[in-house]
Amino acid sequence: MTEPLVVLDTVSRIHGEGATAVTALDQVSLAIAPGELVAVMGPSGSGKSTLLNVAGGLDRPTSGRVLIEGEDLTTMGGADLARLRRRRMGFVFQDYNLIPSLTAAENVSLPLELDGERISQARRHARHALDLLGLMDLSDRYPDAMSGGQQQRVAIARALVGDRRFVLADEPTGALDSHTGEEVLRVLRERCDAGIAGLLVTHEARHAAWADRVVFLRDGRVVDTTGTDSGVEGLLTTSAGGSR
């Protein structure tokens, strides 16, 4: 088995203190290998977003460790976390992922430019990433001249630009119609097949079907884990994707 890219080691996250304390994550452990797409499912308020935020270093766990390629996020300072976000991982949120004053290509090259790469170099990488996702036509468009699906796909291109190997997506299809949503997930799947690691939060079973593994959360605890071939497909008859 390949070395895992991301490791969550008995991670807990408690919001607030005392009587109003909410345990959003309760001793969660999880490992994601390169080439693997892991989906997180669960009812609202079960801690899905919290899990993703902790895994990406946007939120700090109350206890436990988060390792990315062996580096512990929980002991890192803000500048180092920022560096990781520029070089190692990318986020895709539910909507409005793109910076309105930058074109598609500029949005994609943003992390590289922030990292000090030469503009021409950064642009080349960006075009490459857009090309991989079949979005070359959109390079010079501003976000407000793109559809929601196009915006999400550009956001994925950005999450993957350069050497980034880990994509975190929190309901990336939530604001899209089902067809467009499927298209976005197909792209994500393809990139994972090309060797990156993915963590996808969704509450739609047929989207989860694109994943190699589904983690079920309830009240901040992992209650079940299924591989696609073993459980989910049998569980969900409406699975529309399953293109593998």
Ligand X SMILES: Nc1ncnc2c1ncn2[C@@H]1O[C@H](COP(=O)(O)OP(=O)(O)OP(=O)(O)O)[C@@H](O)[C@H]1O
Nearer CB in complex with ligand X: 24/92:
24
Which amino acid, 48?
A: K
The sign one gets for the Cα dihedral 78, 55, 71, 27 is: positive
Q: How big is the CA angle at 38 (ends 56 and 128), to the nearest 5 degrees?
A: 70
Distances (CA, A) of 60 to 14, 77, 84: 10, 11, 15
Which of another protein, Mg ion, ligand X, none lies near 115, with the C-beta cut-off 5 to 8 A by kind?
A: another protein
* 206 contacts 180 by C-beta, under 8 angstroms: no
Site string for ligand X, 37-56 (x = CB under 6 A): -----x-xxxxxxx------
Span near another protein by CB under 8 A; candidates 97-105, 174-182, 201-209, 236-244: 97-105
DSSP single-letter state for residue 137: G
Residue at token pair 């790469």: 117
Query: Using CB under 8 A, which of 11, 28, 91, 187 touches another protein?
Result: 91
How far is the C-alpha of 182 from the C-alpha of 52, rounded, in Å?
Answer: 21
Which position among 7, 24, 156, 215 is part of the footprint of ligand X (CB under 6 A)?
24
Distances from the Cα of 119 to the Cαs of 37, 85, 124, 166, in angstroms? 31, 19, 8, 23
Q: Which does 34 bind (CB under 5 to 8 A by kind): another protein, Mg ion, ligand X, none?
A: none
Q: What is the closest distance, in whole angstroms, from the C-beta atom of residue 94 to another protein in the complex? A: 8
Q: Does 107 bind ligand X (CB under 6 A)?
A: no
Binds another protein by CB under 8 A, chosen from 9, 26, 69, 113: 113
* Site residues (vs ligand X, CB under 6 A): 15-16, 22, 24, 42, 44-50, 203
* Site residues (vs another protein, CB under 8 A): 49, 53, 56, 58-59, 78-79, 82-87, 90-91, 93, 96-102, 106, 110-111, 113-119, 143-144, 158
